[in-house]
Amino acid sequence: MQIRPIAIEDAEQISRIRRLDGVREGILAVTSERLDVTVNFIKSLSDDDRAFVAVEKKDEIAGMAVLVKNKCFKRRHSAMLAIMVAPYYQEKGIGTALMKRLLDEADEKLFLRRIELLVLTDNTPAINLYKKFGFKIEATRKNAAVKDGRFVDEYFMGRINKKGDSLR
């Protein structure tokens, strides 16, 4: 497996993964989502953001992780994280590899103090992955989303980089 920066050419595979059962529900995507949503997202990433894909055999994308740095001056020490792994690659270490690469980048190159994320409360594998990397549940957002025709709760999780004690 190779972890590399995302490229615009990856949009079609990423868009397909976003619509798959086993991914779509967790990231609140819809089956009718158009390719241009993914293309526009990739194009919107700035030099301060980071996005990586995990590539398996024959250039098949197995997953993606993205870190979008907060643009607000008083919050520029923080970023939002999102990750997804294709269902047929889940529980094979892809999420762990993507998280490690993204957090190394956040800690060692972007010098971010805080990383935040949202995760549905019933997504136990993702929650366990985040906890493994030091994320803690900070709040529960009640009825935050609709999944399979019902309201579901969402955790707001955060991770503090203790090495980032100084303001830059």
Answer yes or no: is pLDDT of 159 > 60: yes
Print the domain residue range for 100: 2-164
Q: How many folded domains does the chain comprise?
A: 1
In CATH, what number is assigned to the domain containing residue 128?
Answer: 3.40.630.30
Confidence at residue 128, expressed as pLDDT on a 0 to 100 scale: 96
Backbone angles phi, psi at 154, to 5 degrees: -140, 140
Tell me the C-alpha distance between 23 and 113, whole Å: 29
Per-residue pLDDT tens digits for 91-143: 999 999 999 999 999 999 999 999 999 999 999 999 999 999 999 999 999 99
The gap from C-alpha 159 to its chain's centroid, in whole angstroms, comes to 14
pLDDT category of residue 154 using cuts at 50, 70 and 90: very high
